[in-house]
Structures are given as structure tokens and as C-alpha cells.
Amino acid sequence: MTMNSAVAEPRGTTREPVLSLKGVSKGFGAVRALTDINLDIYPGEVVAIVGDNGAGKSTLVKILAGVHPQDSGTISFDGVEVSIQTPTASRALGIATVFQDLALCDNLDVVSNLFLGREITRGPSLDEEEMEQRAWSLLRQLSAKIPSVRIAVASLSGGQRQTVAIARSLIGEPSVVILDEPTAALGVAQTAEVLNLVERLRERGLGVLLISHNMADVQAVADRVVVLRLGRNNGDFHVADVSYEEIISAITGATDNVVTRRASAHASAAPASPPESASAPSAAAHAAVAPSEGRLTEPLPDNSTGIDEEID
């Protein structure tokens, strides 16, 4: 299956993708976790990967992070075909992955966490002053709200911890940052902070791959949304052009199911002229746009309709 004609390309740019996957497949025994995945990420672009449980999102992240090699297909970085066999190889290429568990050391302070394994030394000892200055400089560039770089990470809020994990990923000066569910455990204000941080990454010209279950986050911060369904590409949309219902349809493989019906019911109960913003379109605006079959990729085989029955 090919979906090249359906792949949305970033607007107003002729740049090459920093990361490009073509026909990537991965199985675990009899389970086909990913089949023939195509994905491009451009510099200065936030691409959200969405999909239901088991759609293959984490498998995709792990392939890019060097945890699992793909079975087939190619990955190109800056136009050059690469093999990502280990996490070290992934980092060396310039791919930084922030996993959902963050992997911070709670008992260490912010500076120590940022430079863990990459400590700056002067002679035989650690150059604490230099590391502290660089830590502040990095956090300032990210407009991060961290009260002190000398407090243990254990005493930071969830959003601040996420900030430290993202800042740490930037120490190696990556070109691509992968964030796995960065707001899943956060409250409203902390989510906003982390989404601001994602925008800072884009401003720095990084390609950002954002794995998320939260459509509000996706619509607020992503430039494109790539849908995986049952391990296959099932849509590639410019966020500005796509409605909540269209994304849900692509995720579930159906235009009529319990999720879209709830969204429609919510929309018809909404006031006639609700306030709208570019970054968070209202439910009524979503409902006004009929799901567009044109931008979805070709339908999946008949045996892939089980999800609709399950959620109905």
C-alpha cells in the first residue's frame, strides 16, 4: 500500500525532511506491530502521532530510539539512509527520545540530571560552575519555570520534571526530539507549560515527534497529525485543516461510532456562536466539517473492522 498521494507536506517550504521512514515494518512473532509505515518529519515541525491502544505508536518510537530494529523498510536522516541498531546510535545521529517514565534520578538535583553521563570536567574534578551556568542558559532558552537548579528533582512538579527531561534531551544538540505522551500525567497549567516548551523546540528548528492521546494538545501544538491504525498509516493531515471528528474517524476507522456521536452531541448542545481560537477550534466548528474521505488513505482490509464493534 502506498499513501504518498495522501501525505500532507509542510507548507511554504521546499526543505528536505530531517527524518524519513519508508515502508517500515516490524513484527513480534505473529503480531504485526507495524506494516509499511511512511513518515516524514521536517525541521521546525511538530508532528503528532495518534492512534488507539496497540496502534503501534510505541513500537515506532522504539525503532527510532534504537530499542528495536525494524524488520524491513528504510530510515533516512538528513537524506542519508541509516541503520539505528542501538540507543547510542540513535542519540549519535541526533535523535533524542523522552520516554514516558522520564528516567530522571529523583535524588539528584536538576544540574546533575541534565548532565548525567555527560558531565563537564575541569582537570580531575567536575566543573559544577560551568554545568550550572549551562543549565540556567538552557532553561532560560526554553522559558522554563524551574525555581532552582540545585534542588532535587523529587521536589519538582510533574510539569517541571517533564521540562527537565526535555532539557536533558537537548544537551546532545539533537535535530529530532521524540516526546512520548509528555502531558499524560499533567494538570491544565502544567500541560500548557509543556506545550509552550514544544513550541520553543520548534522555534529552535528541531523536528518534534509528539505521541499523544490528547486531541486538544495535538490541535493546540502540532503542525501535522499522522494517524496509525492497526499498525498502518491511516491519515496524514495538516492540523489547521482537520476537525476533531476527522481525526477520530481515522483513528477508529469509522465515521459513525460512539466517539464521533459523542462529539456531535456535544457540538449540537454548544452555544450558537461559541468563542473560537486558531489553536483550539470549538466543538461546533469541528461538527461543521464533514469527515473528508479524500485525505484518508485507502481503506484497511475487511478483517480490520473489529475496533468499531468493540467501541460501539
Ligand X SMILES: Nc1ncnc2c1ncn2[C@@H]1O[C@H](COP(=O)(O)OP(=O)(O)OP(=O)(O)O)[C@@H](O)[C@H]1O
Q: Which residues are near ligand X by CB under 6 A?
A: 28, 31, 33, 51, 53-59
Report the DSSP beta bridge partners of residue 21: 39, 75
- Residue 191 contact, options ligand X, Mg ion, none, Cβ 5-8 Å cut-off depending on partner type: none
Distance CA 22, CA 39 (A): 7
Residue among 92 and 103 whose Cβ is closer to Mg ion:
103
Residue number, 30 or 189, with CB nearest to ligand X? 30
Min dist. Cβ of residue 63 to ligand X (A): 10
In the complex, least distance from residue 284 CB atom to ligand X, rounded to whole angstroms: 29
54 binds, among Mg ion, ligand X, none (CB under 5 to 8 A by kind): ligand X
Q: Which does 59 bind (CB under 5 to 8 A by kind): Mg ion, ligand X, none?
A: ligand X
**Residue 105 binds which entry of ligand X, Mg ion, none, CB below 5-8 Å type-dependent:** none
- Between 34 and 201, name the residue whose CB sits nearer to ligand X: 34
State the nearest-atom distance from the C-beta of 51 to ligand X, in Å: 5
Residues that bind Mg ion (CB under 5 A): 58
From Mg ion, ligand X, none, which one binds at residue 55 (CB under 5 to 8 Å depending on kind)? ligand X
| Residue nearest to Mg ion as judged by C-beta position | 58
Residue 57 vs 202, nearer CB to ligand X: 57
Identify which of residues 59 and 260 has a Cβ nearer to ligand X in the complex: 59
96 binds, among Mg ion, ligand X, none (CB under 5 to 8 A by kind): none
- In DSSP terms, 28 is beta-bridged to 31
Strand order through the sheet with 80-82: 31-41, 19-28, 72-77, 80-82
Shorter beta-carbon distance to Mg ion: residue 100 or 133 = 100
Closest to 47 in 3D by CA, of 166, 201, 186, 278: 201
Select 38 or 58, whichever has its Cβ closest to Mg ion.
58
Smallest distance, Å, CB 301 to Mg ion? 23
**Least distance between Mg ion and beta carbon 122 (Å):** 42
In terms of DSSP bridges, do strands 80-82 and 72-77 run parallel, antiparallel, or are they unpaired? antiparallel
Q: Which amino acid is at 58?
A: S
CA atoms in the 13 A half-sphere facing the CB of 251: 24
**Least distance in Å: CB of 47 to Mg ion?**
16
Instruction: Specify the amino acid at residue 241.
Output: D
The item of ligand X, Mg ion, none sharing an interface with residue 26, based on CB under 5 to 8 Å by kind, is none
Residue 228 CB, shortest distance to ligand X, in Å, is 7
